[in-house]
Amino acid sequence: MLIEELVSYYQKTAAKASPAVPKASILGGTADEILEMVTCYASDAAVFLKHGDLVNAFAASEYGLGWLDCGVYLGYVNAEISNCLALEKEFPTDLFEKLEEKTLRYERML
């Protein structure tokens, strides 16, 4: 899967996601927050991709898929997520420096 395909897959999957718990229940607010994060990351990924920023488009898609997967796993969200999403090709070598900088920045936050 190419980065562009991953972003497209995430956009489609995020658009179909829905709460798995009643909106008025005590868990409804949590489901809404998870879906808001999923939607925001989907929007960010689209903007980054539109501007040719593949590193941040990839990161936003992966973060958003993480939120979506967590929401599904915990029972807050309904969505169908592929079990094996991977890039078919290696990450473009001309983007390694930016990817490494982003990775190191986030590692420092842990």
- Structural domains in the chain (count): 1
Contact 45, 10 (CB under 8 A): yes
The CATH code of the domain that includes 96 is 1.20.1270.90
Q: Helix-strand-coil percent breakdown of the chain, rounded to 5? A: 65, 5, 30
Range of the domain at 78: 3-109
Q: 12: which 2 tokens?
A: 């489609």
Q: What is the pLDDT of residue 98?
A: 86
Residues in the chain predicted with pLDDT less than 70, given as ranges, are 1, 83-89
